[in-house]
Amino acid sequence: MSDAARQRGFTIIELVVVMLLMGALAGIAGALIVQPFRASADIAQRARLTDQADLVIDRVTRDVRAALPNSVRVRSAGGRTAVEFVSTRTGGRYRRLPPSGGGGDTLDRARSSDTFDVLGGLPDIADVQTRSPGTDCANGAGDCISIYNTGQSGYNVYDGDNIAAVTARADTAGNDQLSYDTGGSGPAFASHSPHQRFFVIDDVVSYVCDNSTGELIRYASYGLQSVQPVADATFGTSSALVAQDLSGCSFSYAAGTSTRQGLLTMNLGLTHGGETVTLLAQAHVANVP
């Protein structure tokens, strides 16, 4: 065999063809391998967004279910939508008439200050915060009592109707008592509750969707205002960031009646890393004052 025959190898064309074939096979293999990883990353991102949206909705739902009856309201202005409500710490039934055997402290709504028995005891009475007399409630100074808040004129907590500061509490076995004082001279409450209900209110809370910044913000302890605040400056208190990366956020509220509860509807969209999730949730709100 000649030296020329022994030294023969691949031509440049053959090498180029082989390289092209290997590149094509590598591209196909890469696409088959990378795609599942990308899909897995997308699923994980959507799961994180869904978990975040669930946490936000759970927090709002938990808060609003403790709202004072007929205190939930929604307002939109300046690219913001806010849901506001008065938060309750506890509640119960007051003694309106003396027992058959006599004795007992009844609630006299016509007095500006009084002490009354809580029928059946008051849950979490030890957590009730007493304060000085007045009706400037839900501002972090202490708790107040609200009776028969219907949201109508003369019975609207945001106008300072039917509320009085809790000035004393007595946690005794079988005979819990609360004392209240408006700091004025007129009747504390316009009328009795048909079911002798009262609520201890501790705070006023707003959740505000700011679609211009993609944030959900929470405000609290800024006091009762007849006109629902929406803009940051109208709260006069610091805010807390609840969620960001919002692609959409809205609240709507259907007020309850004497036969059904109120219904708060929340629509929340979150976008991050090219993925978007949208959740719709509803929360029932007790409205019997």
Q: What pLDDT does 289 receive?
A: 82
For residues 166 and 239, state if they share a domain.
Answer: no
Q: What pLDDT does 30 receive?
A: 63
Last residue of a domain, one of 146, 171, 202: 202
Q: What pLDDT does 167 receive?
A: 97
Q: Where do we find the tokens 């279910």?
A: 65
pLDDT digits (tens, 9 = 90+) for 119-142: 999 988 999 999 999 999 999 999
Q: What pLDDT does 172 receive?
A: 77
Q: What pLDDT does 241 receive?
A: 94
For residues 94 and 161, state if they share a domain.
Answer: yes
Q: What pLDDT does 2 receive?
A: 54
For residues 76 and 145, state if they share a domain.
Answer: no
Q: What pLDDT does 71 receive?
A: 95
Are the C-beta atoms of 235 and 222 separated by less than 8 Å?
yes
Distance CA 214, CA 52 (A): 14
**Mind giving me the DSSP string for 180-229?**
EE-SSSS-S-SS--TT-EEEEEEEEEEEEEETTTTEEEEEES----SSPP
- Residue 105's domain comprises 87-202
- CA distances to 149, 164, 165, 276 from 197, in Å: 10, 15, 16, 45
- What parts of the chain have a pLDDT lower than 50? 1
CATH number for 120: 2.40.30
Total count of residues recorded for the chain = 289
Residue 181 lies in a domain: yes
Q: What pLDDT does 60 receive?
A: 94
For residues 155 and 172, state if they share a domain.
Answer: yes
Are the C-beta atoms of 256 and 262 separated by less than 8 Å?
yes
Last residue of a domain, one of 138, 169, 202: 202
Q: What pLDDT does 5 receive?
A: 54
Distance in angstroms between the alpha carbons of the first and the last residue of the chain: 110
pLDDT digits (tens, 9 = 90+) for 83-115: 999 999 999 999 999 988 777 899 999 999 999
